[in-house]
Amino acid sequence: MKFPDDFFEKMRPRIDKAFVAMHELEAGAIANPDEKRMVGHYWLRNPALAPTAQLRTDIEETNKRIKRFAADVRAGKIAPAAGNKFKHILLIGIGGSALGPQFVADALGSRRDPMDAYFLDNTDPDGFDRVFDKIDKELSRTLVIVTSKSGGTKETRNGMLETEARFAQNELNFPRHAVAVTGLGSDLDKYAERNGWIARFPMHDWVGGRTSVMSAVGLAPMALQGFNIDSFLAGAAAMDERTRAADAAQNASMLLALMWHYAGSGRGQKDMVILPYKDRLVLFSKYLQQLVMESLGKEKDLDGQIVHQGIAVYGNKGSTDQHAYVQQLRDGIANFFVTFIEVGKDRRGGRFEVEKGITSGDYLQGFLRGTRAALYESGRESITLSIPEVNEFNVGALIALYERAVGFYGSLVNINAYHQPGVEAGKKAATKLLQLQNQVGEQLSAGSGKTAGEIARSIDADPEEVFHVLRHLVRNDPKVQISKGEEPVEDKFSIAE
């Protein structure tokens, strides 16, 4: 990174402000004024930091319960109604409720794990069917974890309802297979209690979805899969301790935030390309995409000024990307900076030489260093992170490194990194469209064939939106029929007799 010699000195006032803001956040200040709540994901790996004894107890007791539950499941003390032991996990969630567990499962998983994990992380019916096709014959040995902080997330609710129906079709008692991870007193919490689900774990009010992997959201599936959650938390705690250092040059998270600021001139003018040279870390770029873009993509700063901040994140893995888009990175538009992630240990097994004295891992290392050098020679800047191997401790440390970097960067550019008003706007727009679909359905039921324009006028709606609702219904509801006109505007829609 070719930052000028005086860059750190010029950034000193902002750096000092960021350190103060982070100290206040960890001490329990209201860091999300929109929701009037604290932001306490740092307490999850060091409960002693929690600002009250009750919060500390909540964290410690939840972790103990998770360990006991996972141990009882693996030992067969908690077992499916059909007997035997649970063998599979089906986690239903979206966004932060799924991305963290997905990344960790892919990074740490092996065929030796006592349970494997599947995910419903969308509201795509075909996506549901693809997962069910894989595990249908094993539903009797599948433990379902439904994760939703509010309990009202529609995508998660839809996945839960479809899963309940699939269990009923197989004459299985769904509550004997179901676990809820949700906010205390949420709709999901009440539903799980009312129906006698086998366990419920809390999603704390002061933990946001994109930083929830070290809460029950991530720890419950991790423990069930046999991963060492204590080591995972210890890695994060160790990174937290190192990144509290007040010397920016010795603080890895602050260095990252400063390089992001330098690369994009404090306005996100360059994209962040994440290139882990390890298959186990391929989902890290997807995980960081949410962490960075949901945290930093904001219309207004803390003073209410329109700033349109953010950093675009994308990536896959090396050396795959050398056969994909590295060509553009080296020779195309210079609108990015790269982060290489290097893993020291090639494999867990023995050494195999593909040439005399050379292994596949040697090639991987060579491609990383070669690509890094080639980009630099072409005037393209990069950051390199190195970890010894992919294990619980180092994965926890990587996540913590970026969580704090995001918080620091938010302070450097004076935005709130802990709310997501744009996400809520999208949910409201979707709700409005579904209400429109109900109105359109009522109009179809009320009479003979009508055009989209006629229906739109009768309910005072946008004809184009009505037309697309009708097309969706024709393709997915066999009762809705279309009589084609010479032009789409003349198409007539009706309900089959």
The answer to whether 298 and 415 are in contact (CB under 8 A) is yes
Distance CA 166, CA 146 (A): 15
Candidates 427, 432, 442, 490; catalytic one: 427
Q: Which among 403, 92, 151, 153 is positioned nearest to 254, based on CA atoms?
A: 403
419 in catalytic set: no
Three-state SS at 84: coil
**Helix H or strand E encompassing 160:** helix 154-169
Give whole-number Cα distances, 15 to 10, 70, 252, 270, in Å. 9, 42, 13, 21
Cβ atoms within 10 A of the Cβ of 17, count?
13
List Cβ neighbours of 283 (8 Å cut-off, separation of 6 or more): 99, 102, 103, 106, 107
Which residue type is seen at 201?
Answer: F
Strand partners, 309: 298
Distance CA 365, CA 360 (A): 9
Candidates 323, 356, 428, 484; catalytic one: 323
The answer to whether 294 and 420 are in contact (CB under 8 A) is yes
The answer to whether 86 and 80 are in contact (CB under 8 A) is yes
Distance CA 189, CA 197 (A): 10
The answer to whether 404 and 253 are in contact (CB under 8 A) is yes
Q: Which two tokens stand for residue 47?
A: 């409960």
Distance CA 44, CA 50 (A): 8
323 in catalytic set: yes
Distance CA 201, CA 180 (A): 6
Which residue type is seen at 322?
Answer: Q
- The backbone region for 365, taken as left when phi is positive above 0, alpha when psi lies in -120 to 50, beta otherwise, is alpha
Ranges of beta strands (E only) in 161-239 are: 178-182, 199-202
Candidates 26, 162, 164, 294; catalytic one: 294
427 in catalytic set: yes
The answer to whether 473 and 481 are in contact (CB under 8 A) is no
List Cβ neighbours of 11 (8 Å cut-off, separation of 6 or more): 248, 258, 261, 412
Distance CA 235, CA 218 (A): 15
Distance CA 141, CA 83 (A): 8
- The residues carrying an active-site annotation are 294, 323, 427
